[in-house]
Amino acid sequence: MLNSTPLTDVDPNKHGGRIKRQIARLRITELRMFRDMAVSLRASLRQQLPPKVVEVIRASLGTCRFFHLHIRAWLVKVRAQVRAFGAHSQDLASRIERVNVIRPTAMCRILSKYGSDKGAVCPTWHNYTTVYSMMFRGFRDQSLRIFEMGLGTNNPAFRFNMGVNGKPGASLRAWRELFPRAYIYGADIDRSILFQEDRIGTFYCDQLDPAAIQDLWSLSELRGGMDIIIDDGLHTFEANTCFLEASLGHLRAGGFYIIEDIRPDTVGRWHERIERVYLERYQSCQFVFVALPCPANTLGDNNLLIIHRELS
């Protein structure tokens, strides 16, 4: 039960936050329950039906969902809340503000296909790919170097895991398909999920340990900088700032550094750190904070910090 006190008798200043958190936890439990049911149903279908039939069903449902969202997006426009830091960040902020964040794109579809929660095709926790599709539009045929911190461990022993049904490395494989000339790199604290594949290399890193981050960037494979760096690892202010301050120097001119899943209770600290520290320290960078509406996200952590290093 949430609370035995009638809602009409609740003091919102005293109890509102606690009730919202309890409701959010219940909705998360409900979403996980439906996700687990869907996983069980898929497993049952795979056992009872030929693989080709299962693939046809999966593709058909995904296509129906994709076009359903497209039709909805024609009728409804939903924009992100965007805050630019510094006058030179206004152009990037304006371009992000024009994105309809409920309109799925080809990038959304590919990320969802591999099991990433960044895409907006299936009912996912995030819809970042609606913004990424605009940001990375001119990158597809370039010889990029892309790095992502956090592979999506499915080990419950690690904080901020993806659950037992998570797919480690999902987004890395999607980046590889989206950018056919790119080399993709990743890192995680869970050594058991590290892997090497064609154009993908992954490595160990504890993003709370500056020495471990320095060791990571000293690897021969990672020297020379990155065009895109995404932090989807440990979602705490301390971990994000530790990794950012040890890694932003490895972002190439014209590149993007993105921190995902910023928790709402840390937004004020982020604004303060950017205004008091980062604008002075990283004068060649644009800083934009983005809060995206997403019906499936009940914790309010559907937030991005986007940093763009200007061309010299």
Q: Is residue 183 part of a domain?
A: yes
pLDDT for residue 292: 93
Q: Which CATH number does the domain housing residue 192 bear?
A: 3.40.50.150
Q: Is residue 113 part of a domain?
A: yes
pLDDT for residue 72: 57
pLDDT for residue 8: 32
Are residues 126 and 30 both part of a single domain? no
| Alpha-helical segments (H) within 76-135 | 90-97, 106-113, 129-135
| Structure tokens that stand for 295 in this block | 């019906």
Q: Is residue 52 part of a domain?
A: no
pLDDT for residue 2: 33
The three-state secondary structure class of 50 is coil
What's the structural domain count of the chain? 2
pLDDT for residue 216: 98
Are residues 244 and 170 both part of a single domain? yes
Are residues 155 and 217 both part of a single domain? yes
Q: Give me the domain span that covers residue 21.
A: 7-45
pLDDT for residue 61: 57
Residue 264 CA to residue 291 CA, distance in Å, equals: 9
Are residues 35 and 96 both part of a single domain? no
Are residues 36 and 94 both part of a single domain? no
Q: Is residue 285 part of a domain?
A: yes
pLDDT for residue 64: 57
Helix axis angle for 237-247 and 210-217, nearest 10°, is 40
pLDDT for residue 160: 73
pLDDT along the chain (312 residues), means of 10: 32 45 52 58 72 64 55 72 93 96 88 85 76 94 97 82 81 97 97 96 98 98 97 96 98 97 96 97 97 82 96 80
Q: Is residue 55 part of a domain?
A: no
Residue-wise over 126-162: b if at least 16 C-beta within 10 A, else e?
Answer: bbbbbbbbebbeebeeeebbbbbbbbbbbeeeeeeeb
Are residues 22 and 96 both part of a single domain? no
Are residues 99 and 230 both part of a single domain? yes
